A and B are shown apart, each in its own frame.
Chain A
Amino acid sequence: MSRFGDLEAAIMDVMWAAGGPIRVRDVADELNRSRPLAFNTVQTVMDNLFRKGWLNRQKSGRAYWYVTVRSREDYVAGLMGEALAVARDPAATLVRLVEDLEPSEVAQLRAALNAAAEREAGQ
């Protein structure tokens, strides 16, 4: 993770909460409610986020107005898509906990599990 990892996340939270185009000044003011941050720091990190493709910006007057490229839900959906992908992943990018089961298997396994738990409790 980058040096500004946490700050990037905080800025994106402010951006998503804002819902519309806002300036660096507005973001810095919002962040300053919880922690003191230099305007330049916020500007640098927002510039990074723009370069990484997380934010779009447009110059209006003397200031840039920033908007998010995609909604938070879009990103979560993308991550979940990778996490729940059905296809085999030869590169083993992620290691998933459990494969999908058939409905009939679920019922059988649940019955077997209950029986085993009762056996153990009886001993």
Chain B
Amino acid sequence: MRAMIPYLLVAYAIAVAGSGTWWLRRASWPVRLPRLGIAVWQALTFTVVASALLAGLILAVPCLRVWADWPGLKACVMSVRAQYASPGGALATTAGGAVTLFATGRLAWFTVSALIIARRRRTRHDEALALVGRHGPAPGMTVLDDDRPAVYCLPGRRRIVLTTGALRRLDSPQLNAVLAHERAHLTGRHHLVIMFAEALRCAFPRVRFFGIAANQIGGLVEMAADDAAARRAHRLTLADALLTLASARVPAGALGAGGTAGAQRIRRLIDSPQPARGARITAAAALALIAAPAVALSAPALAVMAISHCPPSASHAHVMTTAGQSMHGTGPETAAHLTIAGASWTSGAETAS
């Protein structure tokens, strides 16, 4: 059973990614409560990543907890050696270690490089803005001379940029609504939310789940900012502003299937969905459902590693027979360390007998 834990974790990651995606994309509450929706998508993503990495880690290092004390270290080395002695164990350990290292490295690389790239681009963009932009009507606001309507924010710099084209098309309440939306992005640090989701998509492009999660989170982040703006301005004013800005930019003759994310957002503001009574509870339940199995599954995995070097008793003899002569004289405590390594290849014999 212990040997099965890494495989169970992988199966769990796949199952939770599949069912979570299926369910979240059909549910209506994330659109009503976008901030909670973001949290649930993030929890789901975290659960999937954590389960997969933990699975690899348990495969690679069967005695995670014993590094602290010297005899433990010795036992660990021996247990790893014991695992390598069996062909299946060696393969699993190597594969688990390699996959974990590769995945962690890739994720770290894409996250750090996205942070660095964004920082450099923002600095350059900001420098150019300082020279060619004009001070806007409010602090932290820059106006660019361009007739194409555009509004955006530079997150690290806490700067909101508007073109003269946008200013010309918006009246004062609309402008306030738009600024409230951008300020919500800045104060909510939405760029980091987007960046982490996108880093996962880039690091593992073949895992469709991360792509879907990034798309969903990207859409929900905009809705969350819309809701924040709708608390300061009338939602129809914001919808009008968004529609005015977007329609002035529609490429002539460009026709597609419709139903773009932008249209969905504006439609949502117009229709003004009231958060249903049950939605909040459903969402909270979703969070618990996603978080609980992760804890429940990783806890036994960690517990097994902790327990395996305490009460030796029954497993002791069994380790002696499998780990061989080198075990003699090391005492029960050290011997117990070996059970988990032994388990990965003796469990087959157990089930067979």
Contacts and interface: CB of A to CB of B under 8 A. Distances in A.
Interface of A: 1, 5, 8-9, 12, 52, 54, 72, 75-76, 78-80, 82-84, 88, 90-106, 108-110, 112-113, 116-117, 120
Interface centre among A97, A103, A110 (most CB of B within 10 A): A97
B237 to A, nearest CB: 10
A52 B126 CA distance: 13
26 contacts: A52-B127, A72-B132, A75-B128, A78-B128, A80-B144, A80-B146, A80-B163, A84-B148, A84-B249, A90-B198, A90-B201, A91-B121, A92-B155, A92-B194, A93-B117, A93-B154, A95-B191, A96-B152, A98-B246, A99-B260, A100-B246, A100-B249, A101-B246, A103-B254, A109-B239, A112-B267
B303 interface: no
A79 B263 contact: no
Top 6 A-B pairs ranked by shortest CB distance?
A99-B262, A91-B118, A90-B198, A97-B151, A92-B194, A105-B263
Contacts of A94: 122, 125, 152-155
A112 B258 contact: no
B114 A99 contact: no
B3 to A, nearest CB: 38
A97 B250 contact: no
Interface stretch (B5-13, B21-29, B90-98, B178-186): B178-186
Contact of A102 (B121, B181, B256): B256
Given A91-B198, A95-B155, A95-B190, 6 more contacts: A92-B191, A98-B262, A98-B266, A106-B247, A109-B263, A112-B270
B239 A113 contact: yes
B148 to A, nearest CB: 6
B118 A75 contact: no
Contacts of A82: 121, 125
Interface in B19-65: none
Contacts of A78: 128
Interface in B238-283: 239-240, 242-243, 245-247, 249-252, 254-256, 258-263, 265-267, 270-272
B14 interface: no
Contacts, number: 165
B148 A101 contact: no
B73 interface: no
Given A76-B144, A76-B146, A99 B246 contact: yes
B128 A105 contact: no
Contacts of A84: 148, 150, 249
A63 B110 CA distance: 48
A14 to B, nearest CB: 12
B152 A91 contact: no
A91 B155 CA distance: 11
Contacts of B258: 102, 104-105
Interface string B167-187: 000000000001001100100
A28 B104 CA distance: 55
Interface centre among B110, B145, B153, B263 (most CB of A within 10 A): B263
Contacts of A8: 130-131
B101 interface: no
A109 B151 CA distance: 20
Contacts of A9: 130-131
Given A80-B148, A95-B153, A103-B255, A113 B236 contact: yes
A80 B246 CA distance: 15
A103 B250 CA distance: 6
B199 A79 contact: no
A90 B203 CA distance: 11
A69 to B, nearest CB: 11
A95 B129 CA distance: 16
Nearest to A52: B127
